């Protein structure tokens, strides 16, 4: 009798499972500007367009605009970081050059001091620095790079948040379903949301 009940139960489960639609995974997630289904499959632009057109308040054109701005912010961060690094390197070279010129002028004055004291003439040492332009160029490059980093960070963060909000808005409006039958991990209930 127990076997008959067990076989009947399995037959009912198999029948219910045959009529039930396959489990739907309605959640999507984002990596950069690419969207993936909950199974890890990358969505094509056509699928994303259909996905967002079926939901009120979301549009594919908005998604594309946010992706473009997100990429622009990321590019601005990369370019500004490179400019800041090059500027700091140039500033360092200019500072070392200025320091070496200062040391050489100081050493020259110390060595010429006895001779000028004997001769009575003032020393003719000019402080015409050749590295001051390099230091100023490094300072300008560093300042421009830091401003670019600040701007790029703002753009990147704003549009990253907007992309996340679009994904969250879609996932929040996804339908929930309860199914009983054969699931991917065995037999039982599955709540998909």
The pLDDT of 156-161, averaged and rounded, is: 95
pLDDT of 66 above 70: yes
Quote the tokens at residue 81. Answer: 């970081």
What band does 58 get if pLDDT is binned at 50, 70 and 90? confident
What CA–CA distance (Å, rounded) separates 135 from 128? 14
Q: Which residues pair with 191 in a beta bridge?
A: 178
pTM tops 0.75: no
What CA–CA distance (Å, rounded) separates 125 from 105? 8
Are 174 and 41 in contact by the 8 Å Cβ rule? The answer is no
pLDDT of 93 above 70: yes
What band does 22 get if pLDDT is binned at 50, 70 and 90? very low
The residue behind tokens 């094509």 is 44
Q: Which residue has the higher pLDDT, 78 or 23?
A: 78
Structure confidence at residue 83 (pLDDT): 96
Strands 34-37 and 177-183: unpaired
Structure confidence at residue 145 (pLDDT): 96
Structure confidence at residue 175 (pLDDT): 57
Gyration radius of the chain over CA positions: 35
Give, as one character, the DSSP assignment of residue 44.
P
Q: Please report the sign of the dihedral spanned by the C-alpha atoms of residue 168, residue 174, residue 176, residue 177.
A: negative
pLDDT of 21 above 50: no
What CA–CA distance (Å, rounded) separates 105 from 42? 66
Mean pLDDT for all residues in the chain? 82
pLDDT of 107 above 60: yes
Give, as one character, the DSSP assignment of residue 160.
H
Distance from chain centroid for Cα 127: 47
Q: What are the extents of the domains in the chain?
A: 25-174
Closest CA relative to residue 94, chosen from 143, 146, 125, 129? 129
The pLDDT of 73-95, averaged and rounded, is: 95
């Amino acid at each position: 009798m127990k076997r008959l009940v067990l076989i009947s139960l399995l037959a009912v489960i198999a029948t219910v499972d045959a009529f039930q639609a396959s489990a739907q995974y309605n959640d999507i997630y984002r990596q950069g500007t690419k969207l993936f289904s909950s199974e890890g499959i990358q969505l094509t632009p056509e699928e994303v367009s259909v996905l967002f057109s079926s939901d009120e308040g979301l549009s594919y054109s908005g998604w594309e605009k946010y992706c473009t701005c997100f990429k622009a912010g990321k590019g601005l961060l990369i370019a500004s970081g490179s400019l800041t690094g090059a500027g700091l390197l140039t500033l360092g070279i200019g500072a070392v050059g200025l320091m070496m010129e200062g040391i050489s002028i100081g050493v020259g004055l110390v060595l010429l001091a006895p001779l000028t004291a004997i001769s009575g003439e003032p020393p003719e040492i000019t402080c015409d620095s050749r590295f001051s332009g390099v230091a100023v160029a490094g300072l300008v490059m560093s300042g421009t790079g830091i401003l670019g980093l600040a701007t790029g960070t703002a753009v990147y963060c704003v549009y990253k948040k907007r992309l996340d909000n679009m994904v969250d808005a879609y996932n929040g409006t996804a339908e929930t379903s309860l199914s009983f039958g054969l699931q991917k991990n065995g037999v039982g209930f599955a709540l998909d949301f």
